[in-house]
Amino acid sequence: MPDTGVIHDIGYQRYEGPRLGRGYAARSLYVHGIRSAYGLGRSAWAKVLPMGVLAFASMASLILVVINTQLPTQVIDYVGIASTFTYAATVFVAVVAPELVSVDLRSNLLQLYLSRPLRKSDYALTKLASLATATFLLFAIPMLIMFLGMAFNTDSGIGGVLDEVGGFAQGLVAAAIHAALLSALGLPLASLSGRRVFASGMIIALFLLTTPISGALQAFGNGALADLGGLMDPSSLLNGVDQWLFGPGIGIVRTGDFGAVYGLVTVALIALGTYLLVLRYKKVKS
Amino acid sequence: MNLTIMSLTARAMLGRKRVLMLLPMPIILIGLTLIGVTSGASDAQWGPVVFSSLGISVILPLTALIIGSSALGLEIDDGTITHLLTKPLPRSEIVLSKLAVAWLVTAVATGVPLAAAALIAGSGTLAVGLVIGAAIGGLAYSALFLALSVMTKRPVAVGLVYIVLWENILVSYVSGTRIFSVRQHATAIADSIGNTQLIDASVSVTTALVMAVIFIVVGTVGATQRLRSFALTGDAN
């Protein structure tokens, strides 16, 4: 009886070709994240909701172009679009964020990702970036439609077009802020649960439950308390930032003289959400 | 009704850590009621904000969405629904048992805090009205979301669109759509019994009751019919 087995060298070779590395893996994951946010490359049912919200927003913006060009004064500007569509964007985040992280948790895909050069924090930040980009597109595409409509309708030649470019740029900045805050609040919550039901529930609970709180504070608080009431919920907070940065186009929120506070709180919340997300993935076993 | 299915569903729903998710909502409700009572504002000023905008418009649908779509949805997700479907039970019995548990949990989780808030506000009749409104509205919501969880792979996504885009946005622009809004039915029922300044409804009670019954019947029958020809497919991501 032979005492031990032997592994014969039948010419095993090492891989010596180029290795694409961490950056490539992160980029691939980022693109994949944006695609899966809109259901591209997935079943038709996965496309219905994100595409539906986008189509709804684009149609609304088309209608707004018609109203804007027919009436003597502009009823809504680019920043106004960002403020008005925040509500639809919260639904979008609540549906898409679990799609990005909960499915990976539930089907134990995370270990596979982490066996690549990708680090845990890369995974977290990449997912956050894809959610933020997808949400940004939800604002930016309707704004682009409005820009095209308004630019072709302008009566004052190239000067009118340049005015529209300025407004469009302001709108994109507002869209970026909205997308960053909503994703930084939504994704850490989604990453707590592997079930889409509960992940979506937690996110929408955060957005919906806080609205009446700030509404109540603004309705029956007084003075500074009422001015700061808008800090309590994400959509009033974002509208407050819009008003602070781009002037009172549409005064939805009472901010008083505290515009800068709204800006600071937004930045702090984005940083906090990102930090918590990275922290949450630090604990994952790989 | 089948007691075994009911107890298994209740255990799956309440026996885990995630039941704690329901805790923040009553705390916020009671907290805002206390602020409202002590702020010195008139009843008509703060009451509707707390009882309609928060209580019946957010807490009731959200609780029903989470509970209603997980009652049967979790089993479909996990594939354990096959065990239920292979038992010699009428499909209507499965649906009714699941619906009963979802309804009981929703009604208790929303009715009790709402009643407590109404009592703090000093209106006993409103407490009764809110409990009955939450019970009827909760049943209609549960039936709707239960049916959604059998009909689509993404019940929560569709449910969220209904709650946020239909009931919140569309109803505030196109007032006719409010007769298809369960929260308006619940508000109307609570208002007609409570009869105080603390809450105000925009549809009549008769319409509300009729529409709520339609929601309940259509949801239950729809879910049963769909479960009769149910095909278990893979997880379609």
Interface confidence (ipTM) of the complex: 0.86
Question: What is the residue-wise DSSP string for B159-218?
Answer: HHIIIIIIIIIIHHH-GGGGGG-HHHHHHHHHHHHH-STT---SS-HHHHHHHHHHHHHH
In this complex, is the C-beta atom of B165 within 8 Å of any C-beta atom belonging to chain A? yes
pLDDT along chain B (237 residues), means of 10: 89 81 87 82 78 88 91 86 89 93 94 92 87 94 94 87 83 80 89 81 86 93 90 58
Question: Which of A45, A195, A197 lies closest to B236 in CB terms?
Answer: A45
The full set of domain ranges for chain A reads 22-209
Average pLDDT rounded to a whole number, residues A180-209: 91
> Confidence class of residue A250 from pLDDT cuts 50, 70 and 90?
low
- Confidence at residue B237, expressed as pLDDT on a 0 to 100 scale: 42
Asked if A43's CB is within 8 angstroms of B160's CB, the reply is no
Residues of A in contact with B168 (CB under 8 A): 87
Q: Can you give the residue ranges of every domain in chain B?
A: 3-13+23-37+46-228
Cβ A215–B65 below 8 Å, yes or no?
no
A33 and A130 in contact (C-beta within 8 Å)? yes
Q: Does pLDDT of A146 surpass 50?
A: yes
Mean pLDDT of A112-117: 87
Cα distances (angstroms) measured from residue A173 to each of A31, A112, A136, A166, B20:
22, 36, 10, 11, 38
**DSSP class of A211:** H
Q: B73: which chain A residues are within 8 Å (Cβ-Cβ)?
A: 197
Is residue B170 within 8 angstroms of chain A, CB to CB? no
One-letter identity of residue A134? A
pTM of the model: 0.88
B50 touches chain A (CB under 8 A): yes
Q: Which residue has the higher pLDDT, A82 or A1?
A: A82
Task: Tell me how many residue pairs between chain A and chain B have CB atoms under 8 A apart.
Answer: 112
Q: Which two tokens stand for residue A80?
A: 């106004």
Sign of the dihedral defined by the CA atoms of residues A156, A159, A164, A167, in that order: negative
CB A243 within 8 A of CB A236: no
pLDDT given for residue A138 in this prediction: 94
pLDDT digits (tens, 9 = 90+) for A12-21: 888 888 888 8
∠ Cα A267 A196 A232 (to 5°) = 30
Question: Under an 8 A CB cutoff, do A212 and B236 touch?
Answer: no
* C-alpha separations of B217 from B72, B96, B99, B136, B166 in Å: 17, 11, 12, 12, 21
Instruction: State whether residue B38 sits within 8 Å of chain A by CB.
Output: no
Give residue B24's pLDDT: 86
Q: Looking at chain A from residue 87 to 106, which residues have their Cβ under 8 Å from any Cβ of chain B?
A: 87-88, 90-91, 94-95, 99, 103
Cβ distance A227 to A258 under 8 Å? yes
Interface of A with B in 167-206 (CB under 8 A): 193, 195-198, 200-202, 204-205
pLDDT at residue A251, rounded to an integer: 60
